[in-house]
């Protein structure tokens, strides 16, 4: 698997490789909903009170999904798919269409509504040495 990181505006780094391994290859971006049928997802976005959640945290479920980040072990690639109602997910300044899926590359900045992460790393481990 690639060594993938998301970097918050304040400089905190989150290792997607570790998070994806714990949660079955899915990172949802959105807000928690205890009534959701999606369980044990990693949520980037907002806490229950609506304040920015600068830490990646494991929640019981998510709703109002903005996007989902997946890892394809056959291709050794990360992908992002917009799940928002109005297509608010952006790679750099380019909006993804609702339901659009795109491969993630090194150095991109990801935006989910007003929240930004980046520059992000999606490098293969073999490239690090």
Looking at residues 105-121, what average pLDDT do you find?
78
Instruction: Give domain status of residue 14, yes or no.
Output: yes
- The answer on pLDDT for 128 being more than 50 is no
Q: Does residue 102 belong to any structural domain of this protein?
A: yes
At residue 102 the predicted structure's pLDDT band, cuts being 50, 70 and 90, is: very high
Query: Is residue 91 a part of any domain in this protein?
Result: yes
CATH code of residue 23: 2.60.200.20
Mean pLDDT over residues 45-53, rounded? 42
In a domain, 129, yes or no: no
Residue 82 resides in a domain = yes
Residue 107's Cβ-count burial label (10 Å; 0-12, 13-18, 19+) is exposed
Residue 39 pLDDT > 70: no
- CB neighbours of 119 closer than 8 A, spacing ≥ 6? 7, 106, 107, 108, 109
Of residues 87 and 65, more confidence is placed in 87
Where in the sequence is the domain holding 117, given as residue range(s)?
A: 3-124
Model's pTM, two decimal places? 0.62
């Amino acid at each position: 698997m690639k060594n993938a990181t998301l970097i918050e505006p304040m400089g905190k780094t989150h290792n997607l490789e570790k998070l994806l391994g714990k949660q079955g290859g899915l990172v949802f971006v959105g807000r928690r909903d205890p009534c959701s049928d999606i369980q044990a997802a990693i949520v980037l976005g907002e806490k229950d009170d609506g304040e920015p959640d600068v830490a990646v945290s494991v929640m019981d479920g998510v709703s109002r999904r903005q996007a989902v980040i997946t890892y394809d072990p056959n291709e050794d690639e990360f992908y992002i798919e917009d799940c928002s109602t109005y297509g608010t997910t952006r790679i750099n300044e380019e909006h993804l269409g609702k339901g659009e899926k795109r491969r993630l590359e090194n150095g991109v900045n990801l935006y989910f509504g007003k929240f930004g992460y980046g520059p992000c790393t999606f490098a293969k481990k073999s490239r690090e040495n």
